Amino acid sequence: MSDDVLGYVDEQSVARLARDMIDIPSPVGGERALAEYLAARFKAAGLRTEMQEVEPNRYNVFGRMEGTGGGPTLLYAGHLDSAYGGDEEGIAELGPGYQPKSWVEDDWIFGLGAYNMKGGHASAILAVEALARSKVKLRGDVLIAGVVGETCHVPVARYQGARYRACGVGARFMVANGLAADMCVIPEPTGNRVAVASGGYVYFELTTRAPAGATYRRGGQVPTGNRPRDATEKMFDVAAELKTWGNDFASRSRYNGEPAGHADIIAIEGGHPFRPTKLACACRLYFEVGTMPGDRENDVVEGLKDCTRALKARDPDLDVEVKVVQTAQGAEVSPEETVVTALSAAHEQTWGAAPEVTWEGWYADTGPLTRAGIPSICYGPQGRSRGGTVGYAREGEHVNIGDLHRGSQVFVRMAADVCMRDRAAVLRSSAKT
């Protein structure tokens, strides 16, 4: 059956779709144009199509190929937002690989979103469109979704509004407002490996304060004593302590016996840049602690608070406020889940070898979906860094066209297999894992 459908899948089509998606800018908060483009494609392919308003001008989009009944519902879900918008300070200067404009060199597509995750998403979209156009009859439904706001953004300080409201907001809205499925594959860039677990994090804002002291001297006055530390000087002491605490946390963190968690300073903002002659009266530091399924978020919170309490005990002048501004939860499924075994079989049929079954430490929409009762995994293409050559950070985002084509074949074969099974039997199998 799947071989009949594969005639609707080719390298040129998947490359064109991926490039179309890259060429539609979709930063966090600005996903509407891409959602509308996909809705038009889904309708043209004969899928039952819906746009779901998450908040003004932000839409999830769905296409459903309805089955004849009795089979499980399979969901392929990708996020519409790109990791950056391309206009951020420091990002805009990195070159064209960080801009929402695609180009092709040899068999590689470049451009913002190519890797994370418009390339893999295009593979899944083309697969579902091929199934629909072939008129194949499956027992279960096949769903293709595009959701807003997966990227790890958080509204803090002056960074407010939809541009900073993400970290799974679309996926959580989707499952809370009517969408249901029996399993899900998210085509994140896993290097063609099957990731059965994804990580999370606890994100902190730490603040130090001090009087807004002057930088200048007044005539006729004799300086007395040392100038009190300003807020940035205090934060330098905090940052040094966080580095020590974070290194210890990371050294102890394990998942499946492998090193897993991390702890990193993300940003520091101090003082008023518009106000010369006055020292910093406040400084904020943003600190991320990575977690894996099985970790307790409150253990992380209490551990960091213990760190700052010890610092305060040694230095009474150093009062630091600790605030949790975002918690992202990871999730895991059993390697024996149908979604894992069926995808692995489809990969082996396509590539000629079984895939590696592994885990990823980054956050993905697998978290809210799995926690909503939809066993979800990540599986998708890779960038040039797979061969040890120049990678993402230098060249910008890129994805291999051959990977995308084979990815579509994997997704077709998986749907043709799993959606012909008996749903009750699939659910019984899941209950045992």
pLDDT tens digit string along 176-185? Answer: 998 999 999 9
Pairwise CA distance, residues 89 & 259, whole Å = 32
pTM for this one?
0.95
Instruction: Give the SS3 label for residue 170.
Output: helix
* Predicted local distance difference test score (pLDDT) of residue 392: 55
* Predicted local distance difference test score (pLDDT) of residue 396: 85
- What's the pLDDT band for 429 if we cut at 50, 70, 90? confident
* Predicted local distance difference test score (pLDDT) of residue 380: 95
* Predicted local distance difference test score (pLDDT) of residue 393: 57
Measured in degrees and rounded to the nearest 5, phi and psi for residue 177 equal -130, 45
Short-list 290, 293, 230, CA closest to 261: 290
pLDDT at residue 388 greater than cutoff 90: no
- What would the mean pLDDT of 385-403 be, rounded to a whole number? 68
- What would the mean pLDDT of 316-345 be, rounded to a whole number? 96
> Cα 184 to the chain's mean position, in Å?
15
**Mean pLDDT of the residues in the chain:** 94
pLDDT tens digit string along 115-129? Answer: 999 999 999 999 999
* Predicted local distance difference test score (pLDDT) of residue 110: 92
pLDDT at residue 391 greater than cutoff 90: no
* Predicted local distance difference test score (pLDDT) of residue 389: 42
- What would the mean pLDDT of 13-31 be, rounded to a whole number? 98
pLDDT tens digit string along 55-70? Answer: 999 999 999 999 999 9
* Predicted local distance difference test score (pLDDT) of residue 168: 97
For 18, 315, 316, 375, the CA distances from 120, given in Å and listed in that order, are: 8, 51, 53, 19
Could you tell me the two tokens for 395?
């060249």
- What would the mean pLDDT of 392-405 be, rounded to a whole number? 84
* Predicted local distance difference test score (pLDDT) of residue 395: 76
Q: What single-letter DSSP state applies at residue 72?
A: P
Could you tell me the two tokens for 259?
């090193």
Short-list 369, 340, 371, 360, CA closest to 198: 360
pLDDT tens digit string along 342-372? Answer: 999 999 999 999 999 999 999 999 999 999 9
- What's the pLDDT band for 1 if we cut at 50, 70, 90? low
pLDDT tens digit string along 223-262? Answer: 666 778 999 999 999 999 999 999 999 999 999 999 999 9
Peptide bond into 117 cis (omega under 30): yes
> SS3 for 205-249, per residue?
EEEEECCCCECCCCCCCCCCCCCCCCHHHHHHHHHHHHHHHHHHH
* 22 or 214: which leads in pLDDT: 22
- Sequence-distant (6+) residues with CB within 8 A of 66 are 48, 141
Instruction: Give the SS3 label for residue 125.
Output: helix
Could you tell me the two tokens for 404?
């995308």
pLDDT at residue 26 greater than cutoff 50: yes
Pairwise CA distance, residues 384 & 394, whole Å = 11
pLDDT at residue 205 greater than cutoff 50: yes
- What would the mean pLDDT of 304-310 be, rounded to a whole number? 97
DSSP 138-153: -SS-EEEEEES--S--
pLDDT tens digit string along 84-113? Answer: 999 999 998 988 989 999 999 989 999 999
Pairwise CA distance, residues 25 & 85, whole Å = 7
* Predicted local distance difference test score (pLDDT) of residue 225: 62
Short-list 365, 382, 367, 425, CA closest to 107: 382
For 145, 236, 242, 279, 283, the CA distances from 212, given in Å and listed in that order, are: 51, 17, 25, 5, 12
Q: Is the dihedral of CA 297, 288, 114, 82 positive or negative?
A: positive
For 410: left if phi > 0, alpha if psi spans -120 to 50, otherwise beta; the answer is: alpha
Residue ranges of domains in the chain, CATH in brackets: 2-199+330-432 (3.40.630.10), 201-328 (3.30.70.360)
